[in-house]
Amino acid sequence: MAARRPGIRGPGIVLLLLAAVIVMCAGPAAAAADPMITPADRASVAAVPGVVRVAQPEPIETGLARAEVRGPRGAVSRAASVGVDDPQAILIAVPRDGPGTYRVAWAGMTVDGHPFAGTSVFAVRTASPVAAQAQVPGSDGAGPLAVIARLLVLIGVLGMAGLALTREWVLSRAWVTGGLAPPGATGGEALRDRAAANASPYVIGWWRALWVLLAAWVAGLALALPVQAAAVGGQWSALLGDTRWGAAWIGLLVLAAAGALVAAVVRGRDPGLAPSGALLYIIALPGLLGAVLLSWSGHAARGTDATLGTALDIAHGWATAAWLGGLVMLLVLAMPLLAALGSVDRVRLGAAIVVRFSTVAVIAVVVLVITGTYRALAELPSLSALWSTDYGLALLVKLAVFAVMLVLAAGNRFVIHPRLERSALGLAPADASDGVRALAASVRVEVLLGVAVLAAVAVMVVLMPPT
Ligand code: HEM
pLDDT in tens for each of the 467 residues of the chain?
444 444 445 555 655 565 565 555 554 444 555 678 999 999 999 889 999 999 988 889 988 899 999 999 999 999 889 988 889 999 999 999 998 999 999 999 998 888 898 999 999 875 555 555 555 667 667 789 999 999 999 999 999 999 999 999 999 999 999 999 988 888 999 999 999 999 999 999 999 999 999 999 999 999 999 999 999 888 899 999 999 999 999 999 999 999 999 999 988 888 788 777 788 999 999 999 999 999 999 999 887 789 999 999 999 999 999 999 999 999 999 999 999 999 889 999 999 999 999 999 999 999 999 999 999 999 999 999 999 999 999 999 999 999 999 999 999 899 888 888 898 888 876 555 668 888 999 999 999 999 999 999 999 999 988 86
Find out whether the beta carbon of 373 lies less than 6 Å from any atom of ligand 1: yes
What whole-number distance in Å separates Cα of residue 345 and Cα of residue 331? 18
Query: What pLDDT, on a 0 to 100 scale, did the predictor assign at position 389?
Result: 94
Q: Using an 8 Å Cβ cutoff, are 416 and 439 in contact? A: yes
Q: Closest ligand 1 atom, CA of 402?
A: 27
Query: What pLDDT, on a 0 to 100 scale, did the predictor assign at position 134?
Result: 58
Query: What pLDDT, on a 0 to 100 scale, did the predictor assign at position 1?
Result: 41
Q: How far is CA 56 from the centre of its chain?
A: 24
- Interaxial angle between packed helices 144-166 and 244-267, expressed in degrees from 0 to 180 and rounded to the nearest 10: 40
Q: Using an 8 Å Cβ cutoff, are 94 and 69 in contact? A: yes
Neighbour-count burial for 31-49, b at 16+ CB within 10 Å, e otherwise: bbbebebbbeeebeeeebb
Nearest CA to ligand 1 atom 26: 368
pTM of the model: 0.87
- Angle (CA) 201 206 208, round 5°: 90
Q: Closest ligand 1 atom, CA of 378?
A: 10
Overall residue count recorded for the chain in this entry = 467
Å from CA of 316 to ligand 1 middle = 6
- Angle (CA) 30 32 36, round 5°: 160
Å from CA of 432 to ligand 1 middle = 36
For the chain, the domains span 11-24+142-462, 35-124
Find out whether the beta carbon of 302 lies less than 6 Å from any atom of ligand 1: no
What whole-number distance in Å separates Cα of residue 35 and Cα of residue 407? 42
Tell how strand 43-45 and strand 115-124 pair up.
parallel
* Count of alpha carbons within 13 angstroms of residue 325, beta-carbon side: 34
Query: What pLDDT, on a 0 to 100 scale, did the predictor assign at position 367?
Result: 98
Find out whether the beta carbon of 122 lies less than 6 Å from any atom of ligand 1: no
Find out whether the beta carbon of 402 lies less than 6 Å from any atom of ligand 1: yes
Å from CA of 398 to ligand 1 middle = 8
Strand 80-83: give its sheet, edge to edge.
Answer: 36-38, 51-55, 86-93, 80-83
Domain 35-124: which CATH number of 2.60.40.1220, 3.20.20.80, 3.30.460.20, 3.20.10.10: 2.60.40.1220
Q: Using an 8 Å Cβ cutoff, are 164 and 280 in contact? A: yes
Find out whether the beta carbon of 164 lies less than 6 Å from any atom of ligand 1: no
